[in-house]
Amino acid sequence: MTAAASRKSAAAHAPPVQAAIVVAGVVAMWGASFVSIPIGPVPITLQTFAVCVLAGLFGGRLGLAIVLAWLVAAALGAPVLANGAGGWKAVSGPTAGYLAGMAVAAWVCGEGARRASGWLPLTLVFLGGHVIVLAAGWAGLAGVMNPGPAFQSGVLPLLPGAAVKSLAAALTVRLVSR
């Protein structure tokens, strides 16, 4: 079975298997929050790396379900966000745009991964997912601060990490899917 075929069939799992994948994905997203480098209003974390890998492995539908379940857990107070944050204030604060962008990126990355035939196209798909997260995050930050400073503090410092995480996620998905 090819990597693309295995990613396509992930959504065909029985509902209990899908539920287990979502729970495991939420745990992975939580684990990714432990790597947090504070650099301004938004820390650098491995959460977007996890979004790309999970969506790349399990497809857009399950990737979206994982991110939505993770966001619900966070909104209900589970400390699953960067620096152990959780609660409504954490999901509706300055990082709300980034969090919403992760849901959209999960679907886009999962659907794009089904069509990507190699590590470079997959890297570009995941880079596109990071652009979605950063654009949504910038829009959210621009609601609480001026757009220029929001871009300078909430997008520019995150671009190098987005590129590295996109490549690392693509290589991870390719290796795991073999």
The model's pLDDT over 145-159, given as tens digits with 9 standing for 90+, comes to 999 999 999 999 999
Instruction: Tell me the one-letter amino acid at 152.
Output: Q
Q: Output the pLDDT for position 57.
A: 97
Q: What angle do CA 177, 130, 56 make, to 5 degrees?
A: 15
Range of the domain at 103: 3-176
Q: Each residue of 49-70: pLDDT tens digit?
A: 999 999 999 999 999 999 999 9
| Structure confidence at residue 128 (pLDDT) | 98
Tokens of 168: 């690392």
* DSSP secondary structure of 36-83: EE--SSS-EESHHHHHHHHHHHHHHHHHHHHHHHHHHHHHTT---SGG
At residue 5, the pLDDT reads 46
| The predicted structure's pLDDT at residue 11 | 53
- Listed residue (61, 86, 57, 70) closest to 27, CA to CA: 70
Q: What percent of the chain has pLDDT over 70?
A: 93
Between 5 and 37, the more confident residue is 37
Name the domain count of the chain: 1
Q: What is the pTM of this model?
A: 0.90
Q: What is the pLDDT of residues 17-50, one digit of tens each?
A: 999 999 999 999 999 999 988 888 888 999 999 9
Whole-number pLDDT of residue 10: 55
Between 6 and 43, whose confidence is greater?
A: 43
The CATH number of whichever domain residue 106 belongs to comes to 1.10.1760.20
CB proximity list for 92: less than 8 A, separation 6 or greater:
none
C-alpha to C-alpha distance for 128 and 125, rounded to whole angstroms: 5
